[in-house]
Amino acid sequence: MIVRMINMKFVITLVICITLSIVLTQMVSAASLVPNSPPEIVVRTPSEPYQFQSSFYLDASVKDDYNNADLKADIGGFLIASSPNGQIQREIKSEYYARRDTLTLESSDGYNRVVKTLPIYVDPSSRLKLLHKVEGRALDYDGQRILYQTPQGAVFIKTISSEAVQFVFNANYIKEGYLTSRGALLLDTSKVLYEAAEGKQEILKSDSTQPIQVEGNYVLFEFGADTHLRNLATGTTEKVFKGTSHKSAKLMPGGVVVYNYGNYINRYFGGTSKLWKYEPDLLTYQSDGKQLVTEQCSMEANRKYCSLALIDDKGTMSYLIHKEVRSYPYNYKFNNGWIVFQHSLSLSNYDYKLITPTGETKQLLSNVYLGLDYVTSNGTVVFHNDNKMLLQASFEQPYIREFSGKSGKIKWMQDHHYRIAGDSILLYTPEADSAIKQINSRYVGYYGPITIYYTKPIKPGLGREKFVLESEVASENVELTVEYQEQAVVIQPKKDFPFGGKCTLTIPYNAVTDSTGLPVEAYDRTHKMDCSGYLAQSNVEVKVSDEEGHRLEGAKVSFFLPGEELSFFEDYSNPEGMISKKIGKIGPLRIKAELAGYEFMEQEVILDYSGKIVEFKLKRLPDPNMNYGPVWQTKYVTLDKVDDTNVTIHWDPAKDDQGVANYKVYYDAAKPPVTIPGNKTAAEVTGLTPDKEYVLYLQAEDITGIKSTPITISLRTKETPFRFGINQPKASYKMGEKLNFSISQFVKDNIGPQAYKLNLSWDPNYLKLDDQAIQTSEQQKPFKLYFKQRQEGFVQIVGGKTGDTSLPLNPNPNTNPTTYTTPLVYLPFTALKAGTTKVILRQGSQWAHSSDETRTMGKDIVINVTIVEN
């Protein structure tokens, strides 16, 4: 048995004791090599099926004639481990929410490929406590003993107090197992029912396809054409019904057998049958061994009326709900006098009500849709939702508490729920004494707090610093201040919420505890809310006048974010020369005012929550006449496009009483200017030198040949677009062979990069990526891979600096500007099948320059890969 101590996320310790569950087959000796003999995958841990919370230990290996089989493991299609020498022994960590999944082990020796799958179940619930583990698969638990089957097929009963182990039986794979007072009841996959008691084994049935029913010390089963009741405490069997007309019979507590046909109920107990008749027909029924709860429905005047009724052990019926108009039948559960039923409001919403043994009725839930599982002997009602989570409510606490998933066998004993799953016995720990009552977000000023109210006093938990407020429209979140009050948590954003709109608040399961230190939540909880009130705003008032103070109407006022050439808002001044605007922004802002006949003006302002008043005094331009050349109304020029060898500029038109004949752009004294007709206001300048400073002059010329004053434009052309390169070491590969691609950056100058983002795609039918083995180059030690996003046939790899140093620089940027490369990352693939396929480094891959510039690759790089048969 392998025992591992594993620390869960949020500092919860989990002991993982995982044992062999797959029968080892005999290893083929090296002396008797058999061509094409497939590899054999041997799994020692985890057991099958296995349940884990945050991590588990994987111990698997490959037996193979050729001694070169590799081994890979994945969960849900994501590679988690691989080994070229056929052995994996490592801890596998997970932070999944509760769900079923499959652990897939795959081995290939170049000749054969073998796949083995094991069902596993992930459940990080804080309400689960590991009590016991066994070697193999646990079948049943009664608080003092555990019934389990080893991987070799032997069935044992382990007494917990003494650690004594009693052999029960050797069998094929057991489908179901039950502890009895004298031993065990076993049903194998061939539907043979065995009883092992006091050292003896007996076959109870072997030819029926009907399921068995076990209740306490009794089992109801069919043998031949008859229905039999076995008392497991005494070992006696009695024939309850003859023939096959009683397949609807149900075993109730205490050995009571009930079945109905039409409007008759037959109650069998202790060798005596009682037959009762009722009107109208009984549709469904349940019993706790003493009383029956049944449902009746009838049509009257084209309306459907239904009733719930209670029948005692003498056959007397009393109505709980009488002739209620209904469209849907009742869904109800009954135990020890407690009755819970689902009351239909519509196809998707229900009320749930609980009736006590004394007849008192209380509504537990309203206007929800949940699956109703059962009610316990003390009146606790267990539900499940679409995610198969266990939730419960009671008469004293009529609200829902999440507990865990429903995987495995769940038993209610001694006022506690237990789960039997894989090799583990788990206890559902008590629910917290407090719960979330409501979550409010109040608009206070420009942004306000989020308050989570609780039903009872709370305390900070270990996850107190893990609250997250995240926008649903952008992957950005805001730093928070968290204050704990007696029955509330107040969360305040430290700065503006960047995008407003819809957002999600994540409450870590262990961020809040009750007064005893028990986490309030079973899982991390998310709450969707409207964060538009958290978008910072500032009131801006703009006043436009001339130099003498006369207010100017119709002036165009534009607002620009820092570094942006396109305005995000424009408006025109009113007759008072004013504009008032509420801006969803705090911080720097550029504002521009312009009006025909006046020089434009710009101001840089810093917005805060108190608002800002901005004044413009525009200077009047001289009136154009024959003594003047064209006059610029505004000297505003935009650089619409700047590349390595060309640039496109755009300007506002000049004014001239004779009309503007043309515009000229001067960019090189040795070359003629670019001439543009007077009705155009844009020009493209080509033939420039990459990475060079330029000063361009723009002039307007009228029909008389008089030129305007020039507008000066300074710019620097971009470097020749950077390139990535993909290197593959061979022209072709064999099936099963490893392919080690490398991606490099062509470095033109001696400026070091800061980070990179690579998008790579391929056909998963031909190639499989081992993303756990992706690594940086040896020269790239100051870098690390801090994010890898994996989908089927696609991976995004992000690398970033970890220190002050950079990648190796180009030692001779002037002599080898396009041939010097810096390796970035190595990607290991495995060839799966023969044919020709492609590996594509996608357009949009980026490299962050140390001068704070991000460069983006403009087109795909495609590498053809040829895979041949072995």
Do 822 and 741 belong to one domain? Answer: yes
User: Is 326 among the domain residues?
Assistant: no
Tokens of 311: 């029948």
What pLDDT shows up at residue 705?
83
For residue 43, the Cα-to-chain-centroid distance in whole angstroms is 29
Instruction: Work out the average pLDDT over 471-490.
Output: 81
Instruction: Work out the average pLDDT over 766-786.
Output: 72
User: What percent of the residues of the chain are helix, what percent strand, and what percent coil, each to the nearest 5?
Assistant: 0, 55, 45
Q: Is the pLDDT of residue 501 over 70?
A: no
Do 773 and 662 belong to one domain? Answer: no
Is residue 693 a contact partner of residue 720, using CB atoms and an 8 Å limit?
no
Residue with the larger pLDDT of the pair 631 and 164: 164
- CATH number reported for the structural domain that contains residue 524 in this entry: 2.60.40.1220
Is residue 824 a contact partner of residue 846, using CB atoms and an 8 Å limit?
no
User: Is 523 among the domain residues?
Assistant: yes
Do 516 and 587 belong to one domain? Answer: no
Q: Is the pLDDT of residue 11 over 60?
A: no
**Residue 11 DSSP class:** T
C-alpha torsion sign, points 394, 399, 402, 408: positive
Do 494 and 545 belong to one domain? Answer: no
153 — pLDDT class (breaks 50, 70, 90):
confident
- Candidates 518, 522, 525; CA nearest to 432 is 518
Instruction: Work out the average pLDDT over 758-771.
Output: 86
Is residue 371 a contact partner of residue 381, using CB atoms and an 8 Å limit?
no
495 — pLDDT class (breaks 50, 70, 90):
low
Is the peptide bond prior to 280 cis by the omega test (within 30 degrees of 0)? yes
Q: Mean pLDDT for the chain?
A: 80
Is residue 616 a contact partner of residue 545, using CB atoms and an 8 Å limit?
yes
C-alpha torsion sign, points 127, 133, 136, 138: negative
Is residue 715 a contact partner of residue 694, using CB atoms and an 8 Å limit?
yes
What pLDDT shows up at residue 481?
87
Which range, of 573-577, 776-780, 789-793, averages the lowest pLDDT? 776-780
Query: To 10 degrees, the CA torsion angle through 567, 572, 578, 579?
Result: -50
What pLDDT shows up at residue 630?
86
Is residue 701 a contact partner of residue 664, using CB atoms and an 8 Å limit?
yes
3-state DSSP call for residue 666? strand
Tell me: the pLDDT tens digits for 282-305? Answer: 888 888 878 889 888 888 888 888
Q: Is the pLDDT of residue 478 over 60?
A: yes
Which range, of 126-135, 150-159, 498-507, 816-825, averages the lowest pLDDT? 816-825
What pLDDT shows up at residue 545?
94
Highest mean predicted confidence (pLDDT) among 64-73, 232-241, 526-535, 629-638: 232-241
Do 569 and 657 belong to one domain? Answer: no
Domain boundary (512, 534, 556) is at 534
- CATH number reported for the structural domain that contains residue 608 in this entry: 2.60.40.1120
Q: Which residue range forms the structural domain that includes residue 529?
A: 436-534
What pLDDT shows up at residue 113?
87
Q: Residue 166 — φ and ψ, nearest 5°?
A: -115, 125
Is residue 240 a contact partner of residue 249, using CB atoms and an 8 Å limit?
yes
Residue with the larger pLDDT of the pair 12 and 39: 39
Tell me: the pLDDT tens digits for 179-188? Answer: 999 999 999 8
User: Is 371 among the domain residues?
Assistant: no
Query: To 10 degrees, the CA torsion angle through 404, 406, 407, 410?
Result: 100
191 — pLDDT class (breaks 50, 70, 90):
confident
Residue with the larger pLDDT of the pair 496 and 87: 87
132 — pLDDT class (breaks 50, 70, 90):
very high
What pLDDT shows up at residue 15?
30
User: Is 425 among the domain residues?
Assistant: no
Is residue 519 a contact partner of residue 555, using CB atoms and an 8 Å limit?
no
Tell me: the pLDDT tens digits for 621-638? Answer: 776 555 567 888 777 788
Query: To 10 degrees, the CA torsion angle through 803, 807, 813, 818?
Result: -140
User: Is 410 among the domain residues?
Assistant: no
What pLDDT shows up at residue 18?
31
Instruction: Work out the average pLDDT over 839-846.
Output: 84
- CATH number reported for the structural domain that contains residue 699 in this entry: 2.60.40.10
Do 693 and 751 belong to one domain? Answer: no
Do 728 and 859 belong to one domain? Answer: yes
Tell me: the pLDDT tens digits for 18-51? Answer: 333 333 333 333 334 445 678 889 888 887 667 7
Percent of the chain with pLDDT over 90: 19
Which range, of 172-186, 338-352, 556-570, 778-792, averages the lowest pLDDT? 778-792
Dist. CA 11–CA 25, nearest whole Å: 40
Tokens of 655: 């004014």
Which range, of 214-228, 384-398, 417-431, averages the lowest pLDDT? 384-398
Question: Which helix (H) or strand (E) is 483 found in, with range?
Answer: strand 480-484
What pLDDT shows up at residue 29?
35
749 — pLDDT class (breaks 50, 70, 90):
very low
Dist. CA 397–CA 519, nearest whole Å: 18
Tell me: the pLDDT tens digits for 693-717? Answer: 899 999 999 888 888 889 999 888 8
Is the peptide bond prior to 46 cis by the omega test (within 30 degrees of 0)? yes
User: Is 310 among the domain residues?
Assistant: no
Which range, of 498-512, 678-692, 798-812, 816-830, averages the lowest pLDDT? 798-812
Q: Which amino acid is at 457?
A: P
Instruction: Work out the average pLDDT over 202-207.
Output: 80
Q: Which amino acid is at 166?
A: Q
The pTM assigned to this predicted structure is 0.56
Q: Is the pLDDT of residue 438 over 50?
A: yes
Percent of the chain with pLDDT over 70: 82
Tokens of 247: 């397949």
Give residues with Cβ within 8 angstroms of 404, minimum separation 6. 98, 123, 125, 127, 128, 389, 390, 419, 428, 522
- Candidates 17, 58, 56; CA nearest to 41 is 58
Which contacts of 803-810 are long-range, i.e. CB under 8 A and separated by 24 or more positions?
806/752, 806/753, 806/754, 806/782, 806/850, 807/745, 807/747, 807/752, 807/753, 807/779, 807/780, 807/782, 807/783, 808/779, 809/747, 809/749, 809/750, 809/751, 809/752, 810/747, 810/748, 810/749, 810/750
Do 745 and 855 belong to one domain? Answer: yes
What is the total residue count of the chain? 870
User: Is 344 among the domain residues?
Assistant: no
Radius of gyration for the chain, computed over Cα atoms and rounded to the nearest angstrom: 39
Do 564 and 495 belong to one domain? Answer: no
**Residue 377 DSSP class:** T
What pLDDT shows up at residue 340?
92
What pLDDT shows up at residue 537?
66
Domain boundary (507, 534, 561) is at 534
72 — pLDDT class (breaks 50, 70, 90):
very high
User: Is 322 among the domain residues?
Assistant: no
Tracing tokens 């305390």 back to the chain, one arrives at 459
Which range, of 72-76, 210-214, 583-587, 673-677, averages the lowest pLDDT? 583-587
Q: Residue 780 — φ and ψ, nearest 5°?
A: -105, 30
What pLDDT shows up at residue 157?
95
Q: Is the pLDDT of residue 203 over 70?
A: yes
Highest mean predicted confidence (pLDDT) among 111-120, 137-146, 757-766: 137-146
Total domains present in the chain = 5
Do 520 and 576 belong to one domain? Answer: no
Highest mean predicted confidence (pLDDT) among 30-34, 315-319, 842-846: 315-319
- Candidates 168, 159, 156; CA nearest to 195 is 168
In sequence order, the β-bridge partners of residue 96 are none
Residue 623 has a CB neighbour count (10 Å cut-off) of 10
Is the peptide bond prior to 588 cis by the omega test (within 30 degrees of 0)? no
Domain boundary (510, 534, 558) is at 534
What pLDDT shows up at residue 747?
60
Tell me: the pLDDT tens digits for 513-547? Answer: 999 999 999 888 888 877 765 555 678 999 999 99
Instruction: Work out the average pLDDT over 74-79.
Output: 82
85 — pLDDT class (breaks 50, 70, 90):
confident
6 — pLDDT class (breaks 50, 70, 90):
very low
178 — pLDDT class (breaks 50, 70, 90):
very high
Q: Which amino acid is at 662?
A: N
3-state DSSP call for residue 38? coil
776 — pLDDT class (breaks 50, 70, 90):
confident
Do 515 and 613 belong to one domain? Answer: no
What pLDDT shows up at residue 665?
94
Do 554 and 529 belong to one domain? Answer: no
What pLDDT shows up at residue 739?
86
